[in-house]
Amino acid sequence: MPEYHKIVIIGAGQGGLGISYYLTKFNLPHIVVDKGDIANSWKEKRWDSFCLVTPNWTLNFPEYPYKGINPNGFMKRDEFVEYITKWAKSFNVPIRKNINIKSVKIQNSKFLLETNSKDFLSDVVVIATSTHQLPKIPNISKKIPNSIKSMHVESYKNPLALDKGEVLVVGSGQSGCQVVEDLHSAGIKVHLCVGKSGRLPRSYRGKDCITWQKEMKLLDRTPDMLENPSLRFAGDPHLTGRDGGKTLSLHKFHRNGVNLYGRLIDVSNNHFIFDNNLISDIHYADNYAKEFRKKIDDYINFSKLNVPSSSHEDFDGEATKDNKVIEIKGSLDFINNKIKTIIWATGFVYDFSWIKCPITDEMGYPKTNQGATNIKGLYFNGLNWMTKRKSGILYGFDEDSINVAKQIKNYLENVINSNNMNAGDHKCM
């Protein structure tokens, strides 16, 4: 027989833990299940030198805000895992570890959660598995010869764990550029396939770029403000918190000896074959940074703020007059260049097909109203752009968490306790 719990939260990252925190305050019994442990993705799917990209002051966890001496610094992976784990233990999170949820469906007016071990029944389910769930690896990966180790960026740990030789990184988004930085700092020769990705200055006119985004209310933008719903899944612009935080740029990589190429489009006769998008995508990253700085300048002028003028440091990573001409290379001989590893920094995909209820839009993404779905008792938390731009990042999860937890409290008080739940409202597959 399935084990019954009034509320089951799926996912022990910040989104799931945030719900658990407030349900605990409301004295509502529940469990949190995760396929691993607390902060599993942060612990298992980040490389060893990984640092947060958002400053420490954004860690506004309820009753556990950052109180260290470096609010403008950036926590390393292990430090952050320790931080979030201590917070979870501070309210005795009722965690069930190593449970993989295979499906969620309606059964006799309750939710049935089928797992790799014991199944559960519940009145309320909160899905807090985040947006980025599964590694996205292009089909061309099937053409990579067996002599080259192929891995997704979520499996990369450190340079010493790789076979000795040169490395090709495919993808120049935030993770790709951070891994290039990690490899290059270790003295490894790196080749980078560039895609269309933005770039942010780490700081500009005296403040960190995240601080400006907060002050300008950019983190409070709502999904209806997007030109296209697909922008909810756009990759993050390249940026790093490593070594105290700095600007990453393709120009700087090139000056430091990283070889740049266009998109990988074929593998033939011991050669990687590349598209001719390199220069246009470098310009895209440059224009992205330029437009961001202009927004800040306009905001400063409109608000009449007394802040420093722009300085040379604000343009760190830009092209310079003495910058080498970036050559468009159509191919790369991976045998002569002794490339032994290819790292796919090509993003992630989501899959909510395991939820056997009609809760997704035409893109297969959950439709919610402040986290609540059209199925009574089924909620989400921690999704990209669930309510605002900040919903899917550390700085925004608390606001959504308390909102969703209050909805659950009201639902249980007004619906289940009144015996008004109507199983006929649920039409699940």
Q: Which of 344, 371, 399 is at the close of a domain?
A: 344
Q: Give one word for 67, left, alpha or beta, with left for phi > 0 and alpha for psi -120 to 50.
A: alpha
Shared domain for 192 and 332, answered yes or no, is yes
Q: Which residues on adjacent β-strands are paired with residue 95?
A: 32
Q: Are residues 302 and 280 in the same domain?
A: yes
Alpha-carbon gap, residue 52 to 47, rounded angstroms: 12
**For the whole prediction, is pTM greater than 0.85?**
yes
Please state, in angstroms and rounded to a whole number, the distance separating the CA atoms of residues 79 and 85: 10
Segment 121-131 mean pLDDT:
95
pLDDT score of 316: 78
> Which candidate, 135, 160, 247, places its Cα nearest to that of 198?
247
- Using the predicted structure, report yes or no on whether residue 241 has a pLDDT greater than 90: yes
Domain that holds residue 263: 135-344
What is the rounded CA–CA span in Å between residue 406 and residue 256?
A: 52
- Token digits of residue 39: 């902060």
68 lies in the same domain as 183: no
pLDDT band at 327 (very low <50, low <70, confident <90, very high): confident
3-state SS of 139-186 is: HHHHHCCCCCEEEEHHHCCCHHHCCCCEEEEECCCHHHHHHHHHHHHC
Residue at a domain's end among 322, 344, 366: 344
Q: What tens digit of pLDDT does each residue of 275-326 get?
A: 999 999 999 999 999 999 999 999 999 999 999 999 888 887 787 766 666 8
Both 143 and 227 in a single domain?
yes
| pLDDT, tens only, 34-74 | 999 999 999 999 999 999 999 999 999 999 999 999 999 99
Summarised one tens digit per residue, pLDDT across range 66-112 is 999 999 999 999 999 999 999 999 999 999 999 999 999 999 889 99
251 and 104 within one domain: no
Q: Examine the domain organization and report whether 314 and 362 are in the same domain.
A: no
In the prediction, which pLDDT does 419 show? Answer: 61
* Claim to verify: residue 336 and residue 365 sit in the same structural domain: no
Q: What is the pLDDT of residue 324?
A: 64
Give the integer Cα–Cα distance in Å for 29 and 77.
31
Q: pLDDT value at position 116?
A: 93
Q: Are residues 177 and 117 part of one domain?
A: no
Same domain, 73 and 111: yes
User: Which pLDDT value is given to residue 424?
Assistant: 37
Instruction: Indicate if 327 and 289 belong to the same structural domain.
Output: yes
Which CATH number is 19's domain given?
A: 3.50.50.60
**Final residue belonging to a domain, choices 344, 361, 378:** 344
Question: According to DSSP H, which parts of 4-48 are helical?
Answer: 14-25, 40-44
At 238, is the secondary structure helix, strand, or coil?
A: strand
Could you count the other beta carbons within 10 Å of the beta carbon of residue 51?
Answer: 19
pLDDT for res 130: 85
For residues 382 and 322, membership in a common domain is answered with: no
Q: Exposure string (b/e) for 159-190, b if CB count within 10 Å is 16 or more? A: beebeebbbbbbbbbbbbbbbbbbbbeeebeb
For the chain, the domain total comes to 2
Together in a domain, 113 and 78: yes
